[in-house]
Structure 1
């Protein structure tokens, strides 16, 4: 073996003595960092802003806080319902509840309506038309932490149970008993935080279980199944404290959603990298008696592809730093750092573990050379066992090289048809639709939408600088067909020329339909000011509220998608070009993965919409899926092409393709199944955005594993022939010189 850098790396981390040093370094590193730096879970910030300060809705919200500071804060809408009609006793108990919290305010409480001071007829006028529902707003101070609001709501539930003699928050909707649900901005925030916080432990357990089960089924070795999990555990043990320290220093912001997906990414991609090395080690153990030499050769052969694959994913994920939308931007550092650390573990810790365990890693199916098998059989007085050599992918390699045109046409048509279906996808930024139907905030909204006007859940505030001109705000906005209610105009605290009205839509304020009315509201307000002679009316209108926030959110999604996707493609293309030294290979590898991505969206829409009945997917799914699938999809292409590239110097290209597909078939199939399985775990969570992302990502990985990598990529390579390596002139000239090209 040549004394290459990778050869030196193998001896450095997995030598007779250094293997123990490598293991000790990882133990010391993980232990020390965990002891001196905070865990990333301790530094979660789940209420971090997603929109930057320049977004119109954010500017409007700041103006509203300044000019209309007594606006009630963040409302938790307590939705009370009794199907046979609310009774006088119900209103009496509600008055007792507001009396208690007027006298004993909870932390973060700003205002609770004094129902005890209102006559019974006045209270009944605020119920729904059928007298069965009543909404009691409970206001928290703006900026109150979600955990504080949750604690306050829990105290409300505790007191309500005492006052009503039963727990109305636990009663089933539609029953004869009085029921209560917490909805509105505070309720939605509490439910969202609860979903993600509860998901961490269950997600970790489910991910470990699926990886362990798949490894045991595929490799039938309990020791081998544990090795990748050990590597992932150490990688997480190092990554977590580093991220925690960075968050403590306010260099980054981490939230539950990022940590949840990071966990899946570590187990899925991390196990893949481990298997790339382990599979090569097992192959060489059947050819080389000396386990140290076999391990050194396996590191030499596999490390280049592992490093390139990991670096590709790291770079692609770092591009998320260009995102303006907060939750996407916050993904960049945790994801890229976790993959970087996992890559280092795969190249150092895993070889050390394999060096320590040797052939026992694969117990009870231990790989041995033919000579070792013969000696073992001789000692036992038996004939040497004859193992059928039928590697996974053998028939695929033969088929692809014999009928490349058929394979190319069939796979392209299939993937193209699925990709075309992606044009049918409907998107939404409706947060409520991502909740389970039995979530309290969603149930509360259902009661409001059924008994009241749905816009009551999240009104929008329109503010205008009238420059002292008299304007009919209530008449102007009240005449709009999509507005059900307009409040009385209020003058600003510091600027009496600024007036505000609260508007309620007659449709779901979280829906796409409501969002389309935001520019219409702005246009109506600007026209009103313009007709009154106000100068520059476009600079004197501000709209705040949840619907306006979602409108800006959708615009941010679109902007981030337009910026990030081209940059990711460009960087991955550059990395492939540097690694493969072939423009042609770079182009078709990129195109095949992009085709696979759109195919995953199309097939995912069939599952999510046509089978599961979901009307729209979350707007961030395409961007999430693109970054992960394109980066991770190239991993498999790189591993396959690396094998073909390595063999092309030893045999005709046709044989190199066949052997490359055969050699990598088993490990890529195993890795793909495990990665798809870990993403599929997300689909078991009660959070629709993660369910949808998990489904699309798992489908994309499976398409790469079973169509793109084994069939489409080698078929294209076969059809292009030596042109696939252009302009790798040195190789082409060498093949011409010795006339070894035989395609």
Structure 2
């Protein structure tokens, strides 16, 4: 069947028809549909609508409209204290905002109408810093918000006669824009042109690695052509889905999708190309070699592709929006790349033929002898036993227990460090230290109570009761002070309190205060006779949102991780028909994943001083490492399974390791390098994800695949096929004859 399918794409006419079909499809989709980058939505919500903080925000908007909106905090600072000229600039800025509001701006505090003593009293205790709130409409598009903030900066520069936004902290007046609005704009700017830069860097890196590994300019270009066509088809399809509102895509998802497509896509191409080169050393007929290559590699490539696709689709059951937004782009890109590696790449190889490997063209033994004879040289056959893959194969079958124990100890020791990982859900900590909104926050944190940047708003439905909850809220150790009780003018059954924490509102300590505050208020309301007290308290604000983010992330981890393991187990069982092999293939990759987290933490924490990694990293890394790690296991174990039909199992293990060693090592290096490109991005969540995933890929490439899995297979022996039976070619023929 596979031989016939391969002929559909590699025949004399079919190869050109296949190539032309890809060109036509890519061209039509590119012209007719929008590119995925044109449909980015970087402000899509991450929390589901029924999250407590989202419900609280809706209640706040409905009953306290004056307290809602998207605030930009304009931070004025001068070491030694703001002077009269500084206050004059602040007053003039306030007047301009009142007389000529920016696009999307809402009414704010009229600082220009306040008496000088009151205005100066709003400054920090040392008089060095003043925060000027500039509220904008909630839900405002990021580009519109960015334009308004840029206009605000231009006004201030014109009025001041210099650029306080370029002044570092010191004796001159400096200005920074922070708060939710400033953070949103800066986060978008971080990815400005990042897609193109990342794409260019990835292409150049893959090209250089392919040239170094295969030393063939043509061969280095073929996988990039396959990946390029896959990207050209994937991008407009995703753009169309996003335009229709079926999916949402953001800059982060596109960045990682690009890396995944080039890394995993190149791997699939190499799997086929390597098989083709092996077949060319056995037969001089290109067509026969291609058919045999398709027969030998297509099953493993398809299985590997479906493993990754289904694993990534499992993210659809996530409640956290960022996880969901990854599912379709990642799975679709891998699916299309898998199809390209089984259609376009064979067609290109059929068109170019042996010249694909120029100048190191593979030849049969007879052709090598003839070539040596023409050159007047003595033909010296290659000794396969001298290759590194053969040496490793000899080791794992000669001393399997020693190999298993050694690998398990190393991976287990590294995995132990994973238990020490600290997590953070602080968005600001993921940004560069020189980002304006982060600088503004740090200025506020030094001059004021840190919680001033993001107060927690407590909303209660007390039926209009006169009970004051300020004392109850202030009793919490994390609270600095509580604002006056505000009663809703829309519905007096609701009242609210602004709670300012005395710690970083984005920290884990602040997040832990959220359930404590809610429980304390509910208990007080119940004591005051309020019915359904527990369901009459809501907490809004960024700290509450981060707490909900942690809860949703923990839930997604508990659901998606077992689901992915289950899906991969089903696929492996269907492909290998062995419970034993399925079990140890999954367990070895899980151990490798835990070790990657541990080593990643060692490098990030002890090497670079990172106090905590982003809370989303474990699930991101898990899905990729489990799926991609099984890719290499599937490719290698397929080779062992096929060889075990015609030779003893230990010999099959030895030759399987030797045969797949080169291609998997090359593929692993390329995949790890492409993920490592993410470490050059300016946002820490991508740096951490890229580093840990690259480490995991390298562990799979150099420890799990060549040593641990084949050594376990050697120890288990024929039981590796259980409950199926290990049959040789002769036994298969006898069974067919019966």
TM-score range (shorter-chain normalised) is over 0.9
Whole-Å separation in 2 of the counterparts to 1:237 and 1:692: 28
Alignment partner of 1:234 out of 219, 229, 247: 229
Number of the residue aligned with 2:403: 407
**Secondary structure of 2:204's partner?**
helix
Number of the residue aligned with 1:741: none
Matches within 5 A, 1:59-74: 59-74=55-70
Matches within 5 A, 1:21-170: 21-170=17-166
Task: Work out whether 1:259 is the aligned partner of 2:254.
Answer: yes
Number of the residue aligned with 1:329: 324
Alignment partner of 2:452 out of 453, 456, 466: 456
Alignment partner of 1:690 out of 666, 686, 702: 686
Alignment partner of 1:291 out of 286, 291, 301: 286
Task: Work out whether 1:419 is the aligned partner of 2:415.
Answer: yes
Residue 198 of structure 1: how far off its partner (Å): 3.7
Whole-Å separation in 2 of the counterparts to 1:85 and 1:683: 40
**Conserved 8 A contact 1:391-1:663:** no
Matches within 5 A, 1:305-704: 305-384=300-379, 387=382, 389=384, 390-704=386-700
**Conserved 8 A contact 2:668-2:697:** yes
Residue 375 of structure 1: how far off its partner (Å): 3.0
Whole-Å separation in 2 of the counterparts to 1:19 and 1:28: 14
- 1:426-451 per-position Cα deviation (integer Å, ceiling 9, x unaligned): 11111111011111111111101100
- Decide which moves more: 278-287 or 101-110: 101-110
**Conserved 8 A contact 2:104-2:140:** yes
Residue 93 of structure 1: how far off its partner (Å): 1.0
Whole-Å separation in 1 of the counterparts to 2:731 and 2:261: 41
Whole-Å separation in 2 of the counterparts to 1:319 and 1:480: 40
- 1:359-388 per-position Cα deviation (integer Å, ceiling 9, x unaligned): 111111111122223333444455446555
Whole-Å separation in 1 of the counterparts to 2:124 and 2:726: 81
- 1:27-46 per-position Cα deviation (integer Å, ceiling 9, x unaligned): 00011001001111111111
Residue 470 of structure 1: how far off its partner (Å): 1.6
**Secondary structure of 1:70's partner?**
helix
Whole-Å separation in 2 of the counterparts to 1:729 and 1:245: 49
Residue 166 of structure 1: how far off its partner (Å): 1.0
**Conserved 8 A contact 2:647-2:728:** no
Residue 266 of structure 1: how far off its partner (Å): 0.1
- Alignment CA distance shift 1:581-1:616 (3 Å): same
Alignment partner of 2:724 out of 704, 717, 728: 728
**Conserved 8 A contact 1:373-1:385:** no
Which sections of structure 1, spanning at least 5 residues, go unmatched? Answer: 739-743
Residue 260 of structure 1: how far off its partner (Å): 0.5
**Conserved 8 A contact 2:456-2:541:** yes
Aligned CA-pair RMSD: 1.5
Number of the residue aligned with 1:304: 299
**Secondary structure of 1:331's partner?**
helix
Whole-Å separation in 1 of the counterparts to 2:109 and 2:390: 74
- Alignment CA distance shift 1:210-1:596 (3 Å): same
**Conserved 8 A contact 2:645-2:729:** no
**Conserved 8 A contact 1:461-1:503:** yes
Alignment partner of 1:197 out of 192, 197, 206: 192
**Secondary structure of 1:499's partner?**
strand
- Decide which moves more: 476-485 or 318-327: 476-485
Residue 113 of structure 1: how far off its partner (Å): 2.8
**Conserved 8 A contact 1:629-1:697:** yes
Residue 114 of structure 1: how far off its partner (Å): 2.0
Which sections of structure 2, spanning at least 5 residues, go unmatched? Answer: none
Normalising by structure 2, we get a TM-score of 0.97
Task: Work out whether 1:210 is the aligned partner of 2:233.
Answer: no
